[in-house]
Structure 1
């Protein structure tokens, strides 16, 4: 799994665009895995702190219990694609920070909470450019590639800027 810092070092331009989408709005959609294996979606906020991407949760919230049991997640930033912006998603494994002093330091108070570092396996940015749907994908261990789907036709790989 790649930390936000490692991903940012490997794909700095893409990381900047992803961070821009996640900081443009407060609430995003988090997908977790329920005990029975089915998906659950919940509203969630993200925080970029000290080179990490974090999410928090109230104590014993169902999304926190999902992540504690099975850390797999995907989070979709509030979309701006309809306004000429982009659509951003990240996926990977959430790792709970369990040291109470570290949790208090990261959240700025000592209220009980769950805090998770989001380690990444995949990052996707989607936007419209002219008559093409554009997708830039970063996968851990594979780097980045850019795809285009001109005129709603076949997908083609295009050069990164």
Structure 2
């Protein structure tokens, strides 16, 4: 089962807000894709939360774009920064990235987001399969929150 960003936000507004804020702390994040041989590839990437969707945009011909065109599964981790301030905790989003080819959707995106060449880039709309947040609570608990479409957030605390 998958979900878009708007569905996740409606189901879990507090977690969605925290995740968006965490991604908003930095411009570049870490995308994991699968190479042709199945091994992982990590790449830097900018993301956008816009029009109820979580968008990934990238240059044509990039290896990460080729990976997603071949196998749409991805995971993206918010930039951890220097490790001293991760306000909001560590957040990750996993799912499937689907190439957008509809010119109206692309125009709607480029009207809101400046891209180097609006006529020459790959735009992917995402279908979410999991959102995870890990953080420290009260300086003694490791808390892991996991959301999957159609399920409530599961929370685990460890000392």
Q: TM-score, normalised by structure 1?
A: 0.87
Of 122-131 and 138-147, the range deviating more from structure 2: 138-147
Residues matched between the structures, number: 150
Of 6-15 and 100-109, the range deviating more from structure 2: 100-109
Give distance in 1, aligned partners of 2:131 and 2:17: 12
Unmatched 5+ residue regions in structure 2?
A: 112-116
Give distance in 1, aligned partners of 2:22 and 2:15: 11
1:103 offset after TM fit, Å?
Answer: 1.8
Partner of 2:39: 38
1:111 offset after TM fit, Å?
Answer: 2.8
1:124 to 132, 148, 152: 132
Aligned structure 1 segments of 4 or more residues deviating by more than 4 angstroms: none
State whether structure 2 residue 57 is matched by structure 1 residue 48.
Answer: no
Give distance in 1, aligned partners of 2:150 and 2:74: 19
Unmatched 5+ residue regions in structure 1?
A: 151-161
Kept in 2: contact 1:133–1:148 (CA 8 A)? yes
Higher relative contact order (CA 8 A, sep 6+): 2
CA-based RMSD? 1.5
Give distance in 2, aligned partners of 1:32 and 1:84: 24
Give distance in 1, aligned partners of 2:63 and 2:104: 23
Q: TM-score, normalised by structure 2?
A: 0.88
Pairing 1:62-77 to 2, within 5 Å after superposition? 62-77=63-78
Partner of 1:91: 94
Tell me the alpha carbon deviations over residues 106-134 of structure 1, each in whole angstroms, 9 at most, x when there is no partner. 12363311000121110011111121111
